[in-house]
Amino acid sequence: MEFEKMPTVPTADEILDRSFRRAAKKMKEKTNKERANEEFVRAVGAAVHDRLVYIIRGFPEFDKLPPFYRELADILYGIEKIKMSLGAVGWAAKHTKMIGNQLAVQSRKAADTLIVRKRAVARLASMVHQIDKDLHFLNEVRNVLRHLPNVEDAFTIVIAGYPNVGKSSFIKRVSSAAPEVAAYPFTTKGIIIGHRDLPRERIQFVDTPGILDRPAEERNQIERQALSAMMNVADVVLFILDPSEHCGYPMKVQLHLRDEVKGMVNVPMIVVANKSDIMAAEGYMTMSTQSGDGVEAVLAEILVHKPEPAERKRRVAVDIRTPLRLEPEDPDMDDDADSDEKVKKPKKKRLHRKPRTTRAGMTPELI
């Protein structure tokens, strides 16, 4: 995943401290005091520039990200806001190097290079501190995005439904994920990925937070993450109902949400009634994630929609020692049935190699 490679974004003071230490090492290499101050100014500008460019390159190109990750980043922080902060860092990188070079040239011509050096330090520090808020924001973005789950390119089942209907309990039974399971709404605070290994491949389950039945503009950040997951990564949507209504939502509103979700996706949706140990629902496939009854049947129904893995083409190893097979020659279509003579093709002249001549001072036996 692209976010895992994002480096830590330092603060303005950390960037300046590191740049000053780097410039001080460059300064010690100069024996001439005037040249040393000039080199310090130039080195500070270059060090700040390099560090800021490193921060920018550490972030991925959001427009080229898969839709799932792009929408999550937009939901969590706003891609435009992230781009604006990266643009501010780019502005500072450009101008710190430019000003560092300009003041270094001034230092060469100045009567007192120490004054120019102090002026350069103040200007460069001021520019870096202007983007300190952007640096803090980008580091917060980095810390959150790098911990997003890794969605693989595999058959994906998204588990959806109202809060506390048993989504996390189901995924805990059928996959490798171990989400937090508790008897209160919104237990799942983000998207959790679980995997199940089949004989020839691997499938993944996406455990989403509960989606409340209300207009899209009123849904919170966690609910929008669930919608993003369903629309972008789902091959099958498993919608779980709670006919016992112990989840706190009546069946009427649960069914309304089911119809709304069905209209949002273009993939198969399986509707299952959970908590059959408390109350059975007619007309639906039932299961109990508490006792485990019916869970395997639901999993089997999900796998009905899974396409067969593509057969790999076997490559036949060719032994270079075996002789090449000659293709049969095509029959001559120009032969005349009434003619007994065949047209003979001219033979190619064989080129004879000239004998090697003896070198000067060498007998034929030595050649």
Residue 138 sits in a domain whose CATH number is: 1.20.120.1190
Indicate whether 311 pLDDT > 60. no
Indicate whether 110 pLDDT > 90. no
Q: Which residue, of 246, 278, 303, is where some domain finishes?
A: 303
Q: Are residues 116 and 205 in the same domain?
A: no
Indicate whether 317 pLDDT > 50. no
Q: Which residue, of 93, 110, 145, is where some domain finishes?
A: 145
The pLDDT of 277-281, averaged and rounded, is 84
The β-bridge relationship of strands 192-197 and 202-207 is: antiparallel
Indicate whether 324 pLDDT > 50. no
Weakest-pLDDT range from 20-29, 79-88, 194-203, 253-262: 20-29
Indicate whether 336 pLDDT > 50. no
Spell out the residues 6+ positions from residue 211 whose beta carbon is closer than 8 angstroms to its own: 160, 161, 162, 219, 223, 226, 227, 257, 261
264 pLDDT band, cuts 50/70/90, is confident
Weakest-pLDDT range from 37-51, 66-80, 248-262, 336-350: 336-350
Q: Are residues 78 and 199 in the same domain?
A: no
Helices (H) and strands (E) in the chain, counts: 10, 6
Q: Dig out the tokens for 3 from the structure.
A: 């976010």
pLDDT of residue 215: 65
271 or 279, higher pLDDT: 271
Query: What mean pLDDT, rounded, does the chain reach?
Result: 79
CA dist 284 → 35, 95, 255, 280 (Å) = 83, 65, 12, 9
Q: CA-to-CA distance for 183 and 238, rounded, in angstroms?
A: 21
Q: Which residue, of 303, 323, 346, is where some domain finishes?
A: 303
Q: Are residues 166 and 60 in the same domain?
A: no
Q: Are residues 125 and 217 in the same domain?
A: no
Domain count, the chain: 2
Does residue 353 belong to any structural domain of this protein?
no
Q: Percentage of the chain with pLDDT > 70? A: 76
Does residue 359 belong to any structural domain of this protein?
no
pLDDT of residue 350: 61
Q: What are phi and psi of 352, to 5 degrees?
A: -90, 135
Q: Are residues 126 and 207 in the same domain?
A: no
Weakest-pLDDT range from 110-114, 279-283, 315-319: 315-319
Weakest-pLDDT range from 59-63, 148-152, 322-326: 322-326
Helix 12-28 and helix 33-58, axial crossing angle in degrees, nearest 10: 140
257 or 30, higher pLDDT: 257
Q: Dig out the tokens for 6 from the structure.
A: 């994002």
User: Minimal CA–CA distance to 215: which of 202, 227, 231?
Assistant: 227
Q: Could you tell me the residue range of the domain that residue 272 belongs to?
A: 155-303
The strands making up 155-161's β-sheet, listed across from edge to edge, are 192-197, 202-207, 155-161, 236-241, 269-273, 285-286
Spell out the residues 6+ positions from residue 33 whose beta carbon is closer than 8 angstroms to its own: 113
Burial 142-179 (b: 16+ CB within 10 A, else e): beebeebbebeeebbbbbbbbbbbbbbbbbbbbbebeb
Q: Are residues 174 and 231 in the same domain?
A: yes
pLDDT of residue 30: 64
214 pLDDT band, cuts 50/70/90, is low
pLDDT of residue 172: 87
